Structure 1
Amino acid sequence: MNIHIIGIGLIGGSFALDLKAFYPQSKIVGIDNCKEHLEKAMELGLIDESGELEDVVDSDLVIIAVPVDVGIGLLKKVLDKIGDHTLVIDAGSTKEKICTAVATHLKRRNFLAAHPISGTEFSGPEAAISELYRNKTMIICEVEKTAFKLQEKALEIFRHLGMRIRYMDAKSHDKHIAYVSHLSHISSFMLGKTVLEKERNERDIFDMAGSGFASTVRLAKSSPAMWTPIFQQNRENILETLTEYISNLNQFKSLMEENNFEEVYREMEKTNHIKSILNGIN
């Protein structure tokens, strides 16, 4: 299989590692605007060679793993160049805008809109991890608009990666992901900002921060270059989640001001139910 991965960072590089393991006879070509990323990917053995966008004409599988603002224009260019039997998968965190952008493209049936619910706070080729996707969920949007044989091809790949499959329309995907992913990143960034503004002594932060703080602000180490476009593309849904989140914070603040710690306890006790939902997540 001739595989082209556009964007050799955490997501693209991790795909490369696992695809190389399951399809050892395949040739994996990396495409990236950053020359240093391609050189590092070659050094780490993520890819067999580097290439250009024009090379996708001979590809069996193209995976697009770039920031979502770049992804829309790039997907159109890829669809313009590919052959009739090429499968193109976009792995971005927002889906409605990219699906709308190629809705009438002549090669729309070659495209599978997908979002692997997996990742870390790190970026670049060095962040690539073997089996990053094992036991994780792959959300597939508008599957009915992808050619059936290419659907089968994609599902075979995802099975090899050990992924669970969930189908969803693009609009619902973006709404739900705003709550369970995008809001988490905003909360992490803003908590980190608050602490940096109030705790001027970095040594105090290092010495006094426990594991709870470290895990809560972990996502604040994520790439702003990747997350700003995500927030922009999913702006309306994120604003809705922020309104509800801020309302809950204000309510909690009011309970504290009123010295109503019985209700504070009840609020936290009710929220403890989240443990039973999340216990199965790695």
Structure 2
Amino acid sequence: MKHIHIIGLGLLGGSFSLGLKKAIAGIEVTGFDKNNAHLQEALSRGIIDQSSDQVPKNADLVIVATPVDTISGIVASLLDDVSPETLILDFGSTKEHICTTLAAHPNRANFLAAHPIAGTEYAGPSAAFPDLLKDKIMILCEPEKTALHLKSKAYEAFESLGMKIRFMEPHEHDNQLAFVSHLSHISSFMLGKTVLDKMEDDKHILNMAGSGFASTVRLAKSSPAMWTPIMKENKENILEALNGYIENLATFRNLLTSDQFEQLAEKMKNANQIGDILDLKG
């Protein structure tokens, strides 16, 4: 692999580039971002070697790491004129709409639907760093629809970054991510909003905030420009997750209101199991 092109030079796109540059000597990276400040920063940080709004014909991989509601249109346009030796990957956090939209494209074999399970609460090229993707999972959807000789280029990149590959169906991916990723961001956003509302009456409330609050609300610093399209694309699955979460919150509130503290303790004890599960996963 000698050349990759990245569209969307934020945290994921930027880190993918920096990681490959660290792992593969002599690799050339071009790229584009519609935010000119991001584009210039990517150049100054060495995320890309040259800016280009056109995909070079010799590109081995093209990474589309833009807001998820733009991905289908961008990939479809790229597939219209793709080189037979170029593989296009998307890094979107939702997969079903993208896979369905591109299913009938005559050059579908030049596309691989991917989602790196990695990130921070920060955005933009300034947040990118070479080891973000190291030891992380790369989820692939419908890889059987991608040409074998092109898939091998992606696998080479993932192996160079030390990533672990997992396979999922698009709907399964979106449904599970609604519970373990999208819901946690909503919870963090709304916890932050609740405390900000309280600050209107008590300006000093954050003086009481400890590490527990900071870790729980950390994701509230995430970019709304990235997360609003995710909510739009994955609406039905997120509503399912939200409905279950709200039901559990209502049960907790009702037990507290009626002084049923033994039952409340039992609910929290049951929830403790998630810690054991995460420890085993780690």
TM (norm. structure 1) is: 0.96
The one-letter code of the counterpart of 1:47 is I
After TM superposition, the structure 1 = structure 2 runs for residues 207-246 of structure 1, keeping only pairs within 5 Å, are 207-246=207-246
Distance in structure 2 (CA, Å) of the matches to 1:185 and 1:281: 21
Give 2:36's aligned residue: 35
**Superposition pairs for residues 66-145 of structure 1, below 5 Å?**
66-145=66-145
Q: Counterpart amino acid of 2:148?
A: F
Tell me the residue number matched to 1:146: 146
Q: Is the 8 A contact 2:61 2:154 kept in 1?
A: no
Separation of aligned partners in 2, 1:244 and 1:109:
38
Please tell me whether the aligned partners of residues 59 and 82 of structure 1 are also in contact (alpha carbons under 8 angstroms): no
Cα distance in structure 1, aligned partners of 2:281 and 2:205: 29
- 1:178 matched to which residue of 2? 178
Matched, 1:51 2:58: no
Q: In the alignment, is the contact (CA less than 8 A) between 2:24 and 2:160 conserved in 1?
A: no
Number of positions where the alignment pairs a residue of Structure 1 with one of Structure 2:
281
In the alignment, the residues of structure 2 paired with residue 24 and residue 77 of structure 1 have an alpha-carbon distance, to the nearest angstrom, of: 31
Displacement of 1:202: 8.0
SS in structure 2 opposite 1:88?
A: strand
Shift of 1:161: 1.0
Match of 2:252 in 1: 252
Q: Is residue 60–residue 153 contact of structure 2 (8 Å, CA) maintained in 1?
A: no
Q: Which amino acid aligns with 1:4?
A: H
Q: What is the CA-CA distance between 1:55 and the residue it aligns to?
A: 2.8
CA contact (8 A) 1:5 1:31 kept: yes
SS at match of 2:115: strand
Shift of 1:87: 1.0
- Which residue of the partner structure matches residue 18 of structure 1? 19
Does the aligned pair in 1 maintain the 2:4–2:61 contact within 8 Å? yes
Supply the distance in 1 between the matched residues of 2:202 and 2:30 (Cα, whole angstroms).
Answer: 43
Instruction: Name the aligned partner's letter for residue 230 of structure 1.
Output: I
Superposition deviation, residue 243 in structure 1: 0.6
Matched residues in 1 for 2:27 and 2:88: separation? Answer: 16
**Cα 1:81–1:202 shift into 2, 3 Å:** farther
Runs of 4+, deviation exceeding 3 Å: none
Q: Which runs of 5+ in 2 are unaligned?
A: none
> CA–CA distance in 1 between the matches of 2:60 and 2:94?
24
Name whichever of 160-169 and 89-98 sits farther off. Answer: 160-169
3-state SS, counterpart of residue 140 of structure 1: strand
Where 1:55 maps in the other structure, the secondary structure is coil
Aligned mates of 1:11, 1:183 — CA distance in 2: 20
| Contact 2:22–2:130 (CA under 8 A) maintained in structure 1 | no
The aligned counterpart of 2:168 is: 168
For structure 1, the 5+ residue unaligned runs are none
1:274 aligns with 2:263: no
In structure 2, what is the Cα distance between the partners aligned to 1:59 and 1:281?
37
Q: CA deviation at 1:25?
A: 1.2
Distance in 2, Cα, partners of 1:150 & 1:260: 60
Query: Please, what TM-score do these two structures have when normalized by structure 2?
Result: 0.96
- Displacement of 1:137: 1.1
Identity over aligned pairs, percent: 53
